[in-house]
């Protein structure tokens, strides 16, 4: 076994690999970009070496530099994690040439599976079933369109070198083909440096079922059962589970054996995943692709098999045989993984960036596991994937595991940026999901239930916010008094509200577009609060409470309740049962001064690059006309006209960088 390895990755997967290495007594070398100088993976490793600036090209993708660091630090092997260099043949070869083990398959296997098109051709000859489509070399736009026309719509265009759903476009009709092809090619070129695509029949009710395979250097190959990753948004996995519900033993064996055939066909070594698409309507399954690395969702397999897949990777890479034979592998219980992302489900899951001002994870146990690379105070930056953590749960059966998931999600608290936590909670509680209605259209079909429109804030939440504000004001006023007798702060005068026996105070909060007022009257040991409820009725509630360490414990109209409360910048976030309510306290007397310019300007939802400008000054546009395409976090975002009008000015050209909130163009009605 190795004494020391280099982990050529960041975030949760780097932490995950380091944890197993430590368990096995192996020393670790981390690498980091400037954005990650204080990251969790850097702190966990025995040594850490700087790579360069944040951009992956200048840091985590610097193969030569990483190899050089491995040599210098005496690492005997490199674990590439997923993404970055994990499926880079040249890097795998360079490691081997330098006498350093690459913890992954031989470069020939990466090459064979690296192109979705070439892999399909290979699998066809190995007798693995394929989705009907064109995966050849001819990339002529008219030719590809003719192929699609012949197949019948809808069709799917995929980047041949693709991954993570990037460069993938569904085309509904012949007239859309050309523009979708151009967009897919642009995304593919930007993300993978290769714009080759394939076109295949789009299945309308598929499940994504993938098989974990493992092979040792002696050629022994096993499958560690399947994962169902059907719950996806934008073709990216959000929730995975193992085993796949409803899969009978015969089919499980059949798919597992097909996956082993696929792995053997390319001389596979190490951990790999063979992805299949399962047609719910016909029960047929087809090979999609093989990922020649450890997958993000590997923990669900670990939970149901009781194995440590990183340990297996290390053993195999050091030349040991697979620890278990096929007949010794068993499924025990059921596991889910939810990917907690910094994103806004209500805005088509737009990635969010910002600071994790408050972060509290559910307690870990034999049932609950959290794999993460971040800590409170860390930034989710635009440079890397916006995943905050993976929440993994296990129990004896699917129903119980689902209960665990729903519960653990309510215990997960994040303040500072939008997350998909509420969305995941709705998903975990959705009766159709419990009833195993699984296919990749699930989120689209149940969108309204999963992404509820912002509901009116309830009276208790407003009362809690008022108590939190009053406690804060009192604390500030005390501090102020201690510091000086200078009483010029308009918000908390130094004579203090308590002492001022006029004994009432008006509090104003903004939540989204609505404003709420709470009138607080001081009472012995608490307050009487006047709050107008959602139906417009004025309610009077007796309320009292204490805050300590982010928790408020309160009694409101005789109801004892508690919540987490986090103050950040000029806002207040309350978290009750895993649900965030963010309020902005304001002073109505000053509000007029803050009225922002709400003109016809269109702003960038996040920092990015302008990849296309579709309009010019003077153009007349309809509501919904695509105006500009912005690329951010490797995804394209089309900026649409919010209303009909005339383009007054375009502020950016193709290729230019934009800041978040930057005005992009102006449209006059």
Residue 41 or 166: the one with the smaller Cβ distance to ligand ADP is 166
Find how far residue 437's CA is from the centre of its chain: 23
Of these, 44, 123, 156, 621, which contacts ligand ADP (CB under 6 A)?
156
* Stretch of residues binding ligand ADP (CB under 6 A), selected from 20-28, 203-211, 374-382, 506-514: 203-211
User: Distance between CA 229 and CA 336 in Å, rounded?
Assistant: 10
Q: Does 277 interact with ligand ADP (rule: CB under 6 A)?
A: yes
Q: Does 158 interact with ligand ADP (rule: CB under 6 A)?
A: yes
Cβ(451)–Cβ(425) under 8 Å? no
Here the tokens at position 201 are: 């029949």
Q: Does 164 interact with ligand ADP (rule: CB under 6 A)?
A: yes
Cβ(7)–Cβ(31) under 8 Å? yes
Residue 215 or 238: the one with the smaller Cβ distance to ligand ADP is 238
Size of the site for ligand ADP (CB under 6 A): 22
DSSP string of 582-618, one letter each residue: EEEE--HHHHHHH----SSEEE-SSSEEEEEE---TT
**Dihedral sign for Cα atoms in the order 241, 247, 252, 255:** negative
User: Distance between CA 664 and CA 630 in Å, rounded?
Assistant: 10
Shortest Å, Cβ 568 to ligand ADP: 35
Of these, 200, 216, 226, 426, which contacts ligand ADP (CB under 6 A)?
200
User: Distance between CA 511 and CA 527 in Å, rounded?
Assistant: 23
Q: Does 206 interact with ligand ADP (rule: CB under 6 A)?
A: yes
Cβ(554)–Cβ(562) under 8 Å? yes
Q: Other C-beta atoms within 10 Å of 396: how many?
A: 11
Considering only residues 281 to 300 of the shown chain, the ones binding ligand ADP according to CB under 6 A are: 288-289
Q: Does 441 interact with ligand ADP (rule: CB under 6 A)?
A: no
Residue where the block lists tokens 């163009």: 665
Give the strand pairing for 47-52 and 27-33: parallel
Cβ(633)–Cβ(606) under 8 Å? yes
Cβ(411)–Cβ(338) under 8 Å? no
Residue 162 or 600: the one with the smaller Cβ distance to ligand ADP is 162
Shortest Å, Cβ 543 to ligand ADP: 49
User: Distance between CA 226 and CA 240 in Å, rounded?
Assistant: 10
User: Distance between CA 166 and CA 76 in Å, rounded?
Assistant: 34
Residue 128 or 520: the one with the smaller Cβ distance to ligand ADP is 128
Q: H or E stretch including 581?
A: strand 579-585
Shortest Å, Cβ 133 to ligand ADP: 7
Of these, 8, 63, 131, 310, which contacts ligand ADP (CB under 6 A)?
131
Q: Does 163 interact with ligand ADP (rule: CB under 6 A)?
A: yes
Residue 206 or 299: the one with the smaller Cβ distance to ligand ADP is 206
* Stretch of residues binding ligand ADP (CB under 6 A), selected from 197-205, 461-469, 490-498, 646-654: 197-205
Residue 235 or 504: the one with the smaller Cβ distance to ligand ADP is 235
Residue where the block lists tokens 């992954």: 104
- Angle at which helix 309-317 crosses helix 298-305, to 10 degrees, equals 100
* Stretch of residues binding ligand ADP (CB under 6 A), selected from 103-111, 202-210, 408-416, 648-656: 202-210
Here the tokens at position 304 are: 């149901």
Shortest Å, Cβ 275 to ligand ADP: 5
Cβ(275)–Cβ(291) under 8 Å? yes
* Stretch of residues binding ligand ADP (CB under 6 A), selected from 46-54, 57-65, 156-164, 248-256: 156-164
Of these, 80, 83, 162, 578, which contacts ligand ADP (CB under 6 A)?
162
Considering only residues 219 to 238 of the shown chain, the ones binding ligand ADP according to CB under 6 A are: 232, 235
Shortest Å, Cβ 348 to ligand ADP: 17
Considering only residues 368 to 397 of the shown chain, the ones binding ligand ADP according to CB under 6 A are: none
Of these, 35, 50, 146, 165, which contacts ligand ADP (CB under 6 A)?
165
Cβ(334)–Cβ(241) under 8 Å? yes
Q: Which of 293, 339, 398, 576 is catalytic?
A: 293
SS (H, E, C) 151-165: HCCCEEEEECCCCCC
55: nearest Cα among 387, 388, 381, 386: 381
Q: Does 504 interact with ligand ADP (rule: CB under 6 A)?
A: no
Here the tokens at position 606 are: 């996040």
Q: Does 202 interact with ligand ADP (rule: CB under 6 A)?
A: yes
Shortest Å, Cβ 168 to ligand ADP: 5
Residue 207 or 358: the one with the smaller Cβ distance to ligand ADP is 207
Cis peptide before 190 (omega within 30 of 0): no
Q: Mapping DSSP to helix (H, G, I), strand (E, B) and coil, where does residue 229 land?
A: strand
Considering only residues 235 to 274 of the shown chain, the ones binding ligand ADP according to CB under 6 A are: 235
User: Distance between CA 622 and CA 615 in Å, rounded?
Assistant: 12
Shortest Å, Cβ 132 to ligand ADP: 9
Cβ(7)–Cβ(75) under 8 Å? no
Q: Does 119 interact with ligand ADP (rule: CB under 6 A)?
A: no
Residue where the block lists tokens 């007022």: 517
- Does the active-site annotation cover 293? yes
x-or-dash string of contact with ligand ADP, 543-582, rule CB under 6 A: ----------------------------------------
Shortest Å, Cβ 216 to ligand ADP: 26
- Annotated active-site positions, please? 293
Positions in the binding site for ligand ADP (CB under 6 A): 131, 156, 158, 162-166, 168, 200-203, 206, 208, 232, 235, 275, 277, 288-289, 440
């Amino acid at each position: 076994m190795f004494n020391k390895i280099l982990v050529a990755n960041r975030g949760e997967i780097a932490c995950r690999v380091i944890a197993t290495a430590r368990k096995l007594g192996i020393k670790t070398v981390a690498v980091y970009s400037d954005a990650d100088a204080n990251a969790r993976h850097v702190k966990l490793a025995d040594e850490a070496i700087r790579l360069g600036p944040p951009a992956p090209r200048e840091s985590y993708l610097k193969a030569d530099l990483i190899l050089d660091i491995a040599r210098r630090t005496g690492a005997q092997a490199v674990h590439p994690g997923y993404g970055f260099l994990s499926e880079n043949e040249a890097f795998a070869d360079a490691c081997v040439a330098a006498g350093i083990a690459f913890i992954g398959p031989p470069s020939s296997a990466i090459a064979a599976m690296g192109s979705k098109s070439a892999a399909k051709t290979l699998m066809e000859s190995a007798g693995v079933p394929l989705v009907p489509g064109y995966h050849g070399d001819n990339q002529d736009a008219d030719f590809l369109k003719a192929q699609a026309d012949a197949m019948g719509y809808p069709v799917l265009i995929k980047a041949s070198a693709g991954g993570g759903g990037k460069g993938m476009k569904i085309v509904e009709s012949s007239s859309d083909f050309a523009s979708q092809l151009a967009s897919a090619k642009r995304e593919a070129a930007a993300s993978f440096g290769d714009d080759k695509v394939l076109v295949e029949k789009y299945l309308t009710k598929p499940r994504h079922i993938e098989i974990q395979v493992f092979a040792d250097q002696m050629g022994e190959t096993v499958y560690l059962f399947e994962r169902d990753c059907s719950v996806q948004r934008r073709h990216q996995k959000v929730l995975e589970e193992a085993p796949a519900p409803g899969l009978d033993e015969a089919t499980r064996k059949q798919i597992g054996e097909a996956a082993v055939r696929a792995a053997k066909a390319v001389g596979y070594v190490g951990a790999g995943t063979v992805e299949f698409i399962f047609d719910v309507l016909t029960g047929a399954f087809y090979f999609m692709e093989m990922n020649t690395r450890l997958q993000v969702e590997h923990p669900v397999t670990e939970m149901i098999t009781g194995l440590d897949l990183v340990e297996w990777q290390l053993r195999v890479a050091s030349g040991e045989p697979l620890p278990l034979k096929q007949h010794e592998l068993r499924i025990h219980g059921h596991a889910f993984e939810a990917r907690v992302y910094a994103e806004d489900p209500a805005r088509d899951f737009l990635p969010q960036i910002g600071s994790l001002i408050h972060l509290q994870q559910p307690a870990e146990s034999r049932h609950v596991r959290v794999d993460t690379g971040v800590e409170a105070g860390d930034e989710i930056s635009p440079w890397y994937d916006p995943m905050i953590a993976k929440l993994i749960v296990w129990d004896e059966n699917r129903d119980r595991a689902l209960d665990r998931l729903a519960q653990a999600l309510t215990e997960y608290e994040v303040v500072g940026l939008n997350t998909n936590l509420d969305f995941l909670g709705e998903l975990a509680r959705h009766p159709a999901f419990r009833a195993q209605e699984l296919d990749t259209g699930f989120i689209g079909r149940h969108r309204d239930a999963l992404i509820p429109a912002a509901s009116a804030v309830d009276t208790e939440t407003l009362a809690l916010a008022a108590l939190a504000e009053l406690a804060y004001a009192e604390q500030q006023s005390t501090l102020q008094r201690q510091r000086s007798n200078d009483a010029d702060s308009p918000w908390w005068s130094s004579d203090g509200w308590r002492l001022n026996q006029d004994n009432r105070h008006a509090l104003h909060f903004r939540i989204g577009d609505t404003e709420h007022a709470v009138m607080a009257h001081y009472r012995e040991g608490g307050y009487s609060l006047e709050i107008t409820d959602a139906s417009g009725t004025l309610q009077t509630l007796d309320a009292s409470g204490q805050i300590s360490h982010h928790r408020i414990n309160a009694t409101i109209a005789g109801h004892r309740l508690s919540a987490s409360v986090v103050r950040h910048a000029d806002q207040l976030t309350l978290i009750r049962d895993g649900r965030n309510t963010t309020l902005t306290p304001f002073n109505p007397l000053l509000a007029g001064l803050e009225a922002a310019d709400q003109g016809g300007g269109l702003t960038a939802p996040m920092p990015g690059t302008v990849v296309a400008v579709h309009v010019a000054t003077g153009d007349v546009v309809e509501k919904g006309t695509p105006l500009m395409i912005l690329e951010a976090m490797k995804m394209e975002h089309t900026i649409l006209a919010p209303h009909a009008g005339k383009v007054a000015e375009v502020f950016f050209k193709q290729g230019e960088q934009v800041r978040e909130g930057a005005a992009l163009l102006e449209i006059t009605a």
